[in-house]
Structure 1
Amino acid sequence: MASADAPAGAGTGPVPHTDPSAEDTLDLPLSEELLGLFGDGTGATATTTAPNAPGPTAPSSVPPPPSAMPAGDVGADPTGPMRTTPNRAASSDLLDRPADWGPVNTPAGVFQLVPVRLERDLALISRWMNDPAVAAFWELAGAETVTADHLRPQLDGDGRSVPCLGVLAGTPMSYWEIYRADLDPLARHYPARPHDTGVHLLIGGVDDRGRGVGTTLLRAVADLVLDNRPLCGRVVAEPDLRNTPSVSAFLSAGFRFFAEVELPDKRAALMVRDRIHRAHL
């Protein structure tokens, strides 16, 4: 799994149902509250979704040592969870504070979403964005300023999209965006419901791809969202239909194919993981 996909464009979208168990419909107007949150769209995430099939690092069942963590104020305590100083977006209640979600055990090792800090993480994320396999979908190749211009609206925004490093067994190896799909331009292209939460993902290193870790981490992140966002009934994603490994990874992680959607820059597979089906996955 090399990358997630390219920008979905800007705009406003349809308003979701208020009953999570209701049937999907496209004919609902936006409320004044959601219109206000949309604003001019500058706070929304600029990319659409998901990875090609990545690969794991060595399995681990205990938190990694501090020396293995990213530089700066992210660290691991051998007797407790990792710590990070959150940015403004990561502390927002719009996504129930991803900075506080903490590490989880997975079959691939201990995993944690660590909110991005530009001064610490820009060089690494920009290097990943310049990998041809990633650039084909994210379209953010170039100087570090290109990646910085993508990150800043999220970091300085109201918290509807939070960029994170995925740290697996002590090593930063993936980039994630956790976002409010119902407040994103994506909402104009599907029957969004309140608190729908979207994920975008790219796997950074070539050595971490093609071994199935993408499926493991997608399942872990979807579980993190559902565990920490009690009002969220669905986790959604929109990989490019051409990105077959990505679509396959989502299906293997318990997402279902919902529909093909025509986005401004691609034709996407809308993938949905439902809270009500979680016990059966």
Structure 2
Amino acid sequence: MPPTDANADSGPGPARPGAPVAPGAAARRGSAGPRADGAVTRRTPYAGFAVEDDDADCEDTLDLHLPADFLALFAGGTAHLLDQLPTWGTVVTRVGSFRLAPVRIDADLPLIHRWMNDPAVSEFWDLAGPRNRTEDHLRSQLDGDGRSVPCLGVLDGTPMSYWEIYRADLDPLARHYPARPHDTGVHVLVGGAADRGRGLGSALLRAVADLILDRRPACARIVAEPDLHNTPSVAAFLNAGFRFADEVELPGKRAALMIRDRVLREVL
């Protein structure tokens, strides 16, 4: 499972967090290849692809491998899995000009590492600690097949948030809800404490959701799964036009399944 959406601070707004549960360590997206700890895995069919699932427990890894013939359908490489996200450009929002800038390890790692060690972030992302822990998390996406892209959110020229835009239908999350082709997932954290609690999170979530719908015409839904215990994050998604669809039990947390529907774009 990807890390929990955290610190999408919404300011005042309705929240539907459900029954509180003790926050658990968010299990991270597994990397392709054999398990380093030697755990026995089994291969099972999943949406036409091969899935490796730990025989003993699936808390930390569930590797979905896209076959070469599937990837070959995307002329020009795996960047097409997310419709060339690096070219999506800048959008004007009510809080300023905003763009998603794919992470560059050498330039961006110190800032992201500092954010991940903020206690308000680490409670839900579980990536606090030495720099290599954050680096490994980023590289597992950057060196992957293109189904997840880590980005900095740049507002009026200043990096102030971290985002993961990913193919939810090609992600382990799809095992836990009725996924549809081209569902696109979002994780987000607002980095600086000064940027939280004043509505930036919900404004940028709405802007990013609209950007995804504009740039990915095949995508009918945007999904997110914040921890039910993370009330500010749930409220931010609600204020950004997402609807509460269900409670789902994920490795390490009970989550609120939040969905933004293309067909309801002008309503919510």
TM-score scaled by length of structure 1 = 0.72
- Measure, in 1, the Cα distance between the counterparts of 2:159 and 2:65: 25
- The sequence identity of aligned pairs, in percent, is 66
Cα offset for 1:3? 6.0
2:46 is paired with a residue whose SS is coil
1:2 aligned onto 2:24: no
1:67 corresponding residue in structure 2: none
Cα offset for 1:35? 3.2
Contact 1:128 1:134 in 2 (8 A): yes
- Measure, in 2, the Cα distance between the counterparts of 1:243 and 1:147: 21
1:41 is paired with a residue whose SS is strand
Residue 271 to residue 146, structure 1, CA distance change in 2 (3 Å):
same
- Measure, in 2, the Cα distance between the counterparts of 1:144 and 1:267: 28
1:92 is paired with a residue whose SS is helix
Match of 2:116 among 113, 129, 134: 129
Cα offset for 1:9? 5.4
1:99 corresponding residue in structure 2: 86
| 1:176-227 Cα distance to aligned partner (Å, 9 max, x none) | 0000001111000000000000000001011100001100000000001100
1:241 is paired with a residue whose SS is coil
1:140 is paired with a residue whose SS is coil
| 1:11-35 Cα distance to aligned partner (Å, 9 max, x none) | 8xxxxxxxxxxxxxxxxx7332x33
More strand by proportion, 1 or 2?
2
Contact 2:168 2:182 in 1 (8 A): yes
| 1:22-63 Cα distance to aligned partner (Å, 9 max, x none) | xxxxxxx7332x33899962789xxxxxxxxxxxxxxxxxxx
| 1:54-113 Cα distance to aligned partner (Å, 9 max, x none) | xxxxxxxxxxxxxxxxxxxxxxxxxxxxxxxxxxxx971001011000000001100000
2:138 corresponding residue in structure 1: 151
- Which residue identity lines up with residue 7 of structure 1 in the other structure? A
Instruction: Count matched residues.
Output: 218
- Measure, in 2, the Cα distance between the counterparts of 1:199 and 1:10: 14
1:175 corresponding residue in structure 2: 162
Cα offset for 1:7? 3.2
- Measure, in 2, the Cα distance between the counterparts of 1:8 and 1:273: 24
Cα offset for 1:279? 1.9
1:206 aligned onto 2:222: no
Query: How large is the Cα RMSD of the aligned pairs?
Result: 2.5
1:47 corresponding residue in structure 2: none
Match of 1:197 among 184, 187, 198: 184
- Measure, in 2, the Cα distance between the counterparts of 1:256 and 1:207: 27
- Which residue identity lines up with residue 232 of structure 2 in the other structure? P
2:248 is paired with a residue whose SS is strand
Match of 1:30 among 8, 24, 46: 46
Cα offset for 1:280? 1.7
Cα offset for 1:2? 2.5
- Which residue identity lines up with residue 148 of structure 2 in the other structure? S
- Measure, in 2, the Cα distance between the counterparts of 1:217 and 1:202: 11
- Measure, in 2, the Cα distance between the counterparts of 1:231 and 1:206: 36
- Measure, in 2, the Cα distance between the counterparts of 1:43 and 1:156: 14
- Which residue identity lines up with residue 35 of structure 1 in the other structure? A
- Measure, in 1, the Cα distance between the counterparts of 2:119 and 2:233: 16
1:275 aligned onto 2:262: yes
Cα offset for 1:143? 1.1
1:223 aligned onto 2:228: no
1:41 corresponding residue in structure 2: 63
1:166 is paired with a residue whose SS is strand
Contact 2:8 2:236 in 1 (8 A): no
1:266 aligned onto 2:250: no
2:16 corresponding residue in structure 1: none
Any stretches of 5+ residues in structure 2 without a counterpart? 1-5, 10-22, 31-44, 54-60, 67-76
Q: Which runs of 4+ in 1 moved over 4 A?
A: 3-6, 8-11, 36-40
- Measure, in 2, the Cα distance between the counterparts of 1:221 and 1:181: 16
